[in-house]
Structure 1
Amino acid sequence: MTEFILNLIAWGGYIGIFILMTLENVFPPIPSEVIMGLGGMAVARGHMAMTPLLIWGTAGTTLGNLFWYAVGRWIGIERLKPFVDRHGRWLTMTWEDVERLNRFFHRHGGWVVFFFRFLPTFRTMISLPAGMAKMGMPRFLFATFVGSAIWNAVLAYAGLLMGSRFGALQDYVGPVAIGTSVVVIGAWAYRVVTWNRRVR
């Protein structure tokens, strides 16, 4: 995967960054931490400039998230009810939970989308419920672009500071991603195990 990212950046420059960041948000296994980190390293070597790197990278992030937002708008909340009623245990939510989340998004959706841009995994997933709640597109795009720009800047400047030490970038990204995944899976497993008790 790293070799693929390096080759696409070398071939496409800023357009390569844009394509990778779009794909990263459609197919989450491609890590944005590595993409923007490598972009920052390219800045350190004089092969790129920071401002266009951030603009193209954030535009790609926004476009990728717009895909999931559109999917959510197409699905809508109403279509979920039979699925939630049938598989609520494994989703760890009831239809009442879905309705509460929908109301919450209508009140605080902009801030939720903004802050979730800083969370691994969830920064892409949050676009789906935003679309399902029919959050206004201008509001969604603004929150996504601003939050993503800040996060991408952190990653790119980390790459700039590390220079060519790609191994050091992986050393930081790997444990954080694994730790976050373990916490999320553990929380989900706990909710599944205690589901009957919660429903009663």
Structure 2
Amino acid sequence: MSEWIIGVIERTGYLGVALLMMLENVFPPIPSELVLPFAGYVAASGGLDPVGVLLAAVGGSLLGAVPWYWAGRKLGHGGLQRFARKHGRLLTLAPEDIDRAQHWFKRHGPASVAFGRLVPAVRSVISMPAGVGRMPVVSFLLWSLVGTLGWSTLLLGVGFVLQSRYEEVKDLVEWVTRGVVAFMIAAYLWRVWRFGRERAPSGQKKTL
């Protein structure tokens, strides 16, 4: 699994890193916790320029955050909740997630966008309350840049450390990688199942 991810990054280069990071913010196929360390490994091995990888990761992540920001700005809090109730199953986005993100934003203000980018469970949804609150686009992008830059630099640094000891810990990395992927898939399927179960009572009430 780890060698496959490394191979994908080597073949697709900066564009692949950017696309994976963009998709992770909309629908997480492979978490950044795996993409960035292996991208750092490829860069440390001489396959990619470290600065180029960092720029690709940050750029892709910011592009992925913008659609949720504009959704929040156009739909508002109530509109987002209706969207989540109707279409949130595959995205595992529930109205309660929107409420929590909105509370986080109100409590911590614009800086919450930067802090939220450092928290895996909050990274995507924090863009929505920023849009609902009509946070200026420039401010949103700057605060997002601060958080994304810190998160990306940290995980890319892990990849640099990994490169110098990869042969020693290769088997361990492989098992950890498989474990993370299995956990992410299981967590996603659980949230899809639970989402359907939680929405069922409200749907039944509407039919009475």
Do both share a fold (TM > 0.5)?
Answer: yes
- Percent of residue pairs bearing the same amino acid type: 35
Matches within 5 A, 1:70-109: 70-79=70-79, 91=95, 105=105, 108-109=108-109
Shift of 1:75: 1.1
The aligned counterpart of 2:88 is: none
Separation in 2, partners of 1:102, 1:136: 16
Whether the 8 Å contact between 1:117 and 1:151 is mirrored in structure 2 is yes
The aligned counterpart of 1:23 is: 23
Separation in 1, partners of 2:43, 2:115: 27
Q: Could you tell me which amino acid in structure 1 is paired with residue 134 of structure 2?
A: K
What's the RMSD between the two structures over aligned residues?
A: 3.8
2:173 pairs, out of 161, 164, 168, with 168
Matches within 5 A, 1:1-200: 5-79=5-79, 91=95, 105=105, 108-163=108-163, 164=166, 165=170, 167-168=172-173, 171=176
Q: Secondary structure at the match of 1:113?
A: helix
Q: Secondary structure at the match of 2:110?
A: helix
Q: Could you tell me which amino acid in structure 1 is paired with residue 41 of structure 2?
A: M
Whether the 8 Å contact between 1:14 and 1:53 is mirrored in structure 2 is yes
Shift of 1:169: 7.7
Q: Secondary structure at the match of 1:142?
A: helix
Query: Deviation per CA, 1:103-144, whole angstroms, max 9, x where unpaired?
Result: 974684321011111111211111122212221111110111
Q: 1:33 to 1:92 in 2, by over 3 A?
A: closer
Q: Could you tell me which amino acid in structure 1 is paired with residue 121 of structure 2?
A: T
Separation in 2, partners of 1:104, 1:121: 12
Whether the 8 Å contact between 1:37 and 1:155 is mirrored in structure 2 is yes
Q: For structure 1, which segment, 166-175 or 106-115, has the greater mean C-alpha deviation from structure 2 after superposition?
A: 166-175
Q: For structure 1, which segment, 71-80 or 149-158, has the greater mean C-alpha deviation from structure 2 after superposition?
A: 71-80
Q: Secondary structure at the match of 2:124?
A: helix
Segments of structure 2 that go 5 or more residues without pairing to the other structure are 85-93, 192-197, 199-208
What TM-score does the superposition give when structure 1 sets the normalisation length?
A: 0.70
Q: Could you tell me which amino acid in structure 2 is paired with residue 145 of structure 1?
A: L
Segments of structure 1 that go 5 or more residues without pairing to the other structure are 85-89, 186-191, 193-200
The aligned counterpart of 2:204 is: none
Whether the 8 Å contact between 1:159 and 1:169 is mirrored in structure 2 is no
Whether the 8 Å contact between 1:33 and 1:173 is mirrored in structure 2 is no
Q: Secondary structure at the match of 2:54?
A: helix
Separation in 2, partners of 1:166, 1:134: 48
Q: Could you tell me which amino acid in structure 2 is paired with residue 73 of structure 1?
A: R
Q: 1:130 to 1:39 in 2, by over 3 A?
A: same
Q: Could you tell me which amino acid in structure 2 is paired with residue 130 of structure 1?
A: A
What TM-score does the superposition give when structure 2 sets the normalisation length?
A: 0.67
